[in-house]
Amino acid sequence: MHHCVTVNGSSLLFCEVIPRSTYGWCPGERYCSDSQGFTAQRDLVDARPRSYNGRRTPSRYRALLRMRKAKRRPVESSNRATDSPDTLFSKIDAQKTAVKRSSSSAATIVWLRGRGDLRIHDNPLLLQAQRLNEPLFIMFTWSSADADKNYGFGEAQRVFLFSAVDALNRALNMRFQQVIHYVRLSDDAGLEEYLQLFHFLEASLSARTLLMARRYEPPLLQLDMELECTLTKQRKWKVYTHNMHLLHEPWTVAYDGDATSSAGHFGTLLPFWQAWQRNADLPPEPAAAPSTLPPAAALERCEPRTPACCEKPPPLAGDAFVDRTTRCAPFQFVTSLVETGLHPVRPGTKRWDTVLLGSWAVDEERVRAFLRDFLEHRLPLYEKNKSRADLEVVSRLSPYLALGMLSAREVFHATRAASRRLAASKRSKTFERRLIWRDLAYWTLYMFPEAVTTPIRSHYASQEWNEDPRLLAAWQRGSTGYPIIDAGMRQLWQTGWMPQNIRMAAASFLVEYLNIHWIHGLQWFHRTLIDLDIAINAMMWQNAGRTGLDMWNFVIHPETSARSSDPTGAYVRKWLPELAQLPNAYIHAPWKAPESVLSSAGVQLGATYPQRIIADLGAARKQSQAAVLEMRSRSMPQFFNADGYDRIRVPVLKAVSLPHERFQQTATADNTVWRHVFTRREFREAPFATHLPHETEACDRQEAQLLPKDSTRAMQGKSDAQAAA
């Protein structure tokens, strides 16, 4: 066997024939690393034999003595004196390089996927790896399937994810001499491809332990449960999953709108929060970063132990690291994050990503410093000014929470601690409840898996919408002619983010005034948000589109609301510099400005700034309202109670804790119950359906009656189709 270890330019070639049973190595393997490899490749292998037939090697220089006995010379020369063996081994120890395993050791796999797991502090995966104290193999996988338009990462978030993974890799290397191994999966990677990957890791690393963060998007949750069951039952793996993303998971809260949780309408924040407190209590305190991590597990290049699907790439002259890449049919270990295909910007295309990333830091320590700064300086002002877009009041932590660069538990407990130090008049209940609202979004998606694509109020699926592509394009580009809407949409395009109240204004304008289907807004935000969160995005757009559990009880006027959210005009002037010279009286309504004012400000409507795409907001609002009333008038009566509230069927689930129980429950929830949901007065008081009073009373009696699941959303859709016919 040949071992080539190079430190600071000095190379030694250790040659000896060692039985495979002694070390678990295969003849002909070659591991090479040089001084640049400490930072460039980061997969160094300690050449010292660790054991011989189960006993400690008598002499740490046995390999060197055999080399001298064979009168072998170093394969490379150095411009300076060769390090002594003591110096060589001390430098290797100082770098804590990856050690070759004895035949009795097994590796632990930490699997990162960008779903709440991209941090070092409060990371239960790393903490458990520290406790297990087995050779550690950290990997990040990417497939085009991870960019699924419904449940995957959007383009803007992929740019941020790329930088976040790279930053975490550097941090792990600096603190623990660990690196992230990158795996590119096939474009349509599914359960079979992942099983082949873990079969390869089992063969190459003797790995039988997997640590990963739980994912909550319905198809991803199901995939993870199937993978976990297969690995544990068929392959005898130990699979440990952890909550790294939420304060409390949906099945822990166990909220179903029962009588003890009836302080508000079903699916709204107040009753959910009460169930959250009653059934789950406060989340655990965040854990500190691990003090150490086990040594890195070295990925073997052993042909007899490599799956038949894999083959080594052809060697390149002078490239000592070429054999780090293992090419396989369904997966490929690659040497750089770029090679995974994660980054959405391809060579030769416009680099829009650089502008977007210019607004955000990706270093974990800086992010945690942002949290401390917010709690110290802006939290006291948050409750009073949270709706002001022209002030720097909000936390801007959402991108880091979305990817797990910052722990939700850390934010929650740090906020509570900071609030206790403030005077009662400066405390903010709203900011703390934002995290509860976040849990509510994931509970909603768990209960209604189709919420990303289908109305929760299923009878709303038959509503008529405006299909004019020009109006949608103007909204997407920030060219509606309404400054507060355009400023928000341009900020979104340039930075991947905008304040919550501006998001709501943009969503309300699309649905309430343009009468464009909310799914188009959801998809655009999915593509452009750097803080994309599938559950939160779906819940916001469902509620904005009047189809969610908590229909918005307001309509945001694009002119009058702007005067309260941006009274100084600073927000509009920042993102619409063409209007910067307009006085405050006209900054939110340039169409009202006299020609002399427009001329002196350098504004020409229709040229330097667009004309309004709809001039009569009142008429547009009535058309949108009429579309909802028309849909309700032809819906089946079981979808309303006697007071005109919409009703939906809700699956009845109970609190569970074990992974197999979660999987079994989502697969076999046999019962549903009718729940009424909040409905705006303008819809409740108008005629709905065409039914007799006794039919309504019969529906009301079913409010708490359990019904077979085969009559849930699928049957509702069938009823809608029959009614429409």
Sequence ranges of the binding site for FAD: 382, 431, 531-533
Task: State how far Cα 612 lies from the chain centre.
Answer: 36
Q: Tell the burial category of 74 from Cβ atoms under 10 Å away from its Cβ (0-12, 13-18, 19+).
A: middle
Angstrom distance (rounded) from CA 559 to CA 588: 6
The kind and range of the H/E element at 12 are strand 10-15
Full DSSP string of 666-696:
HH---EEEEEEEB--HHHHTS--SS--HHHH
Residue showing tokens 């458990």: 128
Question: Could you give phi then psi for residue 243, rounded to 5 degrees?
Answer: -80, 110
Q: Are 691 and 663 in contact (CB under 8 A)?
A: no
Q: Are 4 and 11 in contact (CB under 8 A)?
A: yes
Q: Are 211 and 244 in contact (CB under 8 A)?
A: no
**Radius of gyration of the CA atoms of the chain, in A:** 30
What does each C-alpha distance from 297 to 108, 179, 360 come to in angstroms? 8, 10, 33
What does each C-alpha distance from 397 to 324, 368, 402, 411, 422 come to in angstroms? 37, 9, 9, 9, 21
Full DSSP string of 472-525:
HHHHHHT-SS-HHHHHHHHHHHHHS---HHHHHHHHHIIIIIS---HHHHHHHH
The contacts of residue 505 (CB under 8 Å, 6+ apart) are: 484, 485, 488, 556, 558, 561, 562, 565
3-state SS assignment for residue 112: strand
Angstrom distance (rounded) from CA 371 to CA 651: 38
Q: What is the chain's length? A: 725
